[in-house]
Amino acid sequence: MDTVVAKQPFNAAQMLVLRSFASVKAEKDREELTSLYLDFLQKKLEEATDKWWEENEMNDEKIEEILNSHYRTPYK
C-alpha cells in the first residue's frame, strides 16, 4: 500500500522533541524524558477538559442526561 506523506518541514516544537529524543543514549534517560513529555501532555489535556467543562456549564445532572441518552441509529 502506498502512503502519501506531506512534505512539510517540522515546526519548532517537533524539532525540539526530535532533537531531545535523538540525543538520549541510555534507556533510563529515554524513559525519564518520555515520562516528562507524557506529564506535559496530561497537564494540557486536563486544562482543555476543565475549560470545556466550564464553557459548557457541565454538571452531574448533564452528565447523567448524556449517559442515559440513546444516540444510536434506530433500525427497522
pLDDT tens digits, 7-63: 778 999 999 999 999 999 999 999 999 999 999 999 999 999 999 989 988 888 988
62 in any annotated domain: yes
Residue 39 belongs to a domain: yes
Q: What is the per-residue pLDDT for 76?
A: 73
Residue 32 lies in a domain: yes
Instruction: Kindly report which listed range (22-26, 47-51, 65-69, 71-75) carries the lowest average pLDDT score.
Output: 71-75
In the prediction, which pLDDT does 47 show?
97
Give the residue carrying C-alpha cell 506523506.
5
Matching residue, cell 506529564: 39
* Residue 72 belongs to a domain: no
- Residue 74 covered by a domain: no
Reported for 59-65, long-range contacts at CB under 8 A and 24+ positions apart, including other chains, are none
The answer to whether residue 6 scores a pLDDT higher than 80 is no
Domain count, the chain: 1
**59 within domain boundaries:** yes
Q: Which domain holds residue 42?
A: 12-67
